[in-house]
Amino acid sequence: MDAAEQLFARRGFAATTIKMIAAESGQNSALIYYYHDSKAALYRHVLERVIGTIADGARRRIAPGSDPERVVRGVVESQVAVLAGNPHLPVLLARELIDWKAAHAEPAIRHLSATLFQELTKAIADGQATGEFRPDIDPTFAAISTIAQVGYLVLASPIAGILLGRGLDGPTDGDIQAFGQHAADFALAALRRPAVPATRASNRLEETTT
C-alpha cells in the first residue's frame, strides 16, 4: 500500500502498473492481486486509507462530549498532521480530482461526509444552539470553509509557496503547522458570536430597567 501510494502520486494512475508496485514493494504481482483484484481496486483502497487516516486522526483528538471549539480544532489538527507528514499526498489527491473528478475516491468521501464531516457540522450547530457561535451562519457552509483552508494550502502547494516566499517547492512543514493553528483560530473567530460592547450592554440594561 505504501509503495502504491507513492507511485500513484508520482506517476498517476494510468502510468503506474502492478509490476512497478510489486518491484517497488519487493512483493510479487500475484500476491498483490490476491488482496486487490485489480489495479483500480488497489488505487481505490489507497485513497480510502488516505482519507480514513484523516478521520482516524480527528477521532483521536476529539473525546466524546468535546465542546464545539475542540471539535473544530481537532478536525483541523488531523488534516495538518496527515498532510504535513506525507508531502506526496496532496499530489495524489490533486491527480484524483483532476484526472477522475474524485470518481475513485467517492465512496471514501461519502463515508467521511456521513461521519467526521457530519460531526463537525453538528458541533457548529450545537455551538449556535448554546449561543457560543453566531446564529446567522450556515453550519454546513461553515464546516466546508473550515476544512477548505488547510486543503487549499496543500493542494495548491506551489501557489501557496510563492505567496509565502518559499518558491515552487511549496510551504515548509513549519509553514503547514503554523497555518493549521491559524486556520483553527480563523475559523473559530468567524464562528464566535461577537462580544457586545460594554456601552451597548449598559444601554440595554438601562432600557430594561426603565
- Is the CB of residue 133 less than 8 Å from the CB of residue 191? yes
Rounded to whole angstroms, the Cα distance separating 90 from 30 reads: 30
Average per-residue pLDDT in the chain?
Answer: 91
What are the tens digits of pLDDT across the range 71-107?
999 999 999 999 888 888 888 988 999 999 999 999 9
CATH of region 2-194, choose from 3.40.50.300, 3.30.70.1400, 1.10.357.10, 3.40.470.10: 1.10.357.10
pLDDT grade, residue 198 (50/70/90)? low
pLDDT greater than 60 at residue 210: no
Average pLDDT over every residue of 179-202: 85
pLDDT greater than 60 at residue 5: yes
Instruction: Say how many C-beta atoms besides its own lie within 10 A of residue 84's C-beta.
Output: 21
> Domain map of the chain by residue range?
2-194
**Three-class DSSP category at 16:** coil
What are the tens digits of pLDDT across the range 9-40?
999 999 999 999 999 999 999 999 999 999 99
How is residue 109 annotated by DSSP?
H
pLDDT grade, residue 154 (50/70/90)? confident
